[in-house]
Amino acid sequence: AQSVTQLDSQVPVFEEAPVELRCNYSSSVSVYLFWYVQYPNQGLQLLLKYLSGSTLVKGINGFEAEFNKSQTSFHLRKPSVHISDTAEYFCAVSPLYREKLTFGTGTRLTIIP
Amino acid sequence: DGGITQSPKYLFRKEGQNVTLSCEQNLNHDAMYWYRQDPGQGLRLIYYSQIVNDFQKGDIAEGYSVSREKKESFPLTVTSAQKNPTAFYLCASSISGQSNSPLHFGNGTRLTVT
């Protein structure tokens, strides 16, 4: 079985400052990794995914994430945030050969003007 | 535009009543899913279906039922046996149901049972 930990339930950041949202996972097998974003009262949208290849993955809206196998982490970063980035962000992990997606508990990103 | 439509957006029911949440997709995706979202708990899988006329229980299936009679439709019934049904329900689909296929989500139905 796999698990996902998002240690920060809330992250306040000033507008135009950088941000990092942390995600750690545990799994006995190799995994695929995903970040989703949820705007208020909406469903989730895919931000980016790591399937294989380069460990630095670029996504939509200027976000990127780095897969670190030794630290079992997949932290999400953005160099300069905007008010429109206010949302909840979910990390998710799925084992390679079994369809079983597990979500973290989410991190609420609040941008301070 | 292709997408997933969930209706209604808000639903109110009295305790003891069954209620059905609608989910329709026009993405031609094989797999469909139902998740429940509660504050601070992330998303938990209720049921999923990888093919018409077949579905499997997720992590919290008790008190829920589904059907998959058409590829486009995957309705969820919240029965009176569900002890704590008030929640935000999200329907999703993926191309193949394989583990590398990202999910596409609807905008959710917020169910309140009193």
Name which of A89, A90, A103 to mutate to probe chain B: the one with the most chain B Cβ atoms within 10 A of its Cβ: A103
- Does the beta-carbon distance from A94 to B99 stay under 8 Å? yes
Calculated CA dihedral for residues A106, B45, A66, B106, nearest 10 degrees: -80
Q: What tens digit of pLDDT does each residue of B6-59 get?
A: 999 999 999 999 999 999 999 999 999 999 999 888 899 999 999 999 999 999
pLDDT at B107 over 90: yes
Chain B CA closest to residue A49: B102
Contact A10, A106 (CB under 8 A): no
B103 shares contact with chain A (CB less than 8 Å): yes
**Across chain B, what does the average pLDDT equal?**
93
**CB-based contact, B4 to chain A, within 8 Å:** yes
pLDDT by residue for chain A (113 residues), tens only, comes to 789 999 999 999 999 999 999 999 999 888 999 999 999 888 999 999 999 889 999 999 999 999 999 999 999 999 999 999 999 999 999 988 777 789 999 999 999 99
Torsion, Cα A95 A96 A100 A104, to 10 degrees, reads 40
**Would the pLDDT of B1 be above 70?**
no
Residues B54-103 pLDDT 10s: 999 999 999 999 999 999 999 999 999 899 999 999 999 999 878 888 99
Please provide residue A57's backbone torsions phi and psi, each rounded to the nearest 5 degrees: -115, 130
Restricting to A residues 5-64, those with a Cβ less than 8 Å away from any Cβ of B are 9, 32, 34, 36, 41-46, 49, 51
CA B67 to chain centre: 10
